[in-house]
Amino acid sequence: MNLDLEVSASDMAVINDGALRIFRDKLKINDDVVFNLKRCVSSGSGEFCCGFHVEGLISENIARYDRVCVNLGMVFWDGCHAGALINLFVCNKSYILEFTYVPVTEVVPFTVVGMRFNSEEFSYTPPDAFL
């Protein structure tokens, strides 16, 4: 099965905003810290998964270390079993948000309609990474 995931830049921005909202809420990041999306990049299609990533800048340093990996959990769509993994990489005052679409048995066209975040598995490495 080869997947073709067509995602518009505006839909990538919706995912970015939703994921960063979870990140802010979980870590109690002040609203004065600005996350500025700079670029959206499609990762293309693959036999088992496909996705995209967004790159952005952070107005101030929010981590103790130069590189931090954050598992933001998954995104699911109403009425289907397909989902996507969402990971955030913070490198000094920049970030990359990676979205990896993982279908189960059905292939569902990408949409932001009916999308819901499940952040129960939220975690980050190293464990003392954030100020």
CA separation for the pair 103, 21 (Å, rounded): 24
Domain-embedded: residue 88: yes
pLDDT digits (tens, 9 = 90+) for 21-48: 999 999 999 999 999 999 998 876 555 5
Q: What pLDDT score was predicted for residue 60?
A: 95
- Residue ranges of alpha helices (H) inside the chain are 9-27
Q: Is-cis flag, bond preceding 126, omega within 30?
A: yes
Domain-embedded: residue 16: yes
Structure-block tokens of residue 78: 């109403």
Domain-embedded: residue 131: no
Domain residues for the domain of 72 are: 9-125
Q: What number of CA atoms fall less than 13 Å from residue 34's CA on the CB side?
A: 4
Domain-embedded: residue 48: yes
For 44, phi then psi, to 5°, come to 90, -160
Domain-embedded: residue 3: no
User: What's the domain count of the chain?
Assistant: 1
Domain-embedded: residue 2: no
pLDDT digits (tens, 9 = 90+) for 111-126: 778 888 999 999 999 9
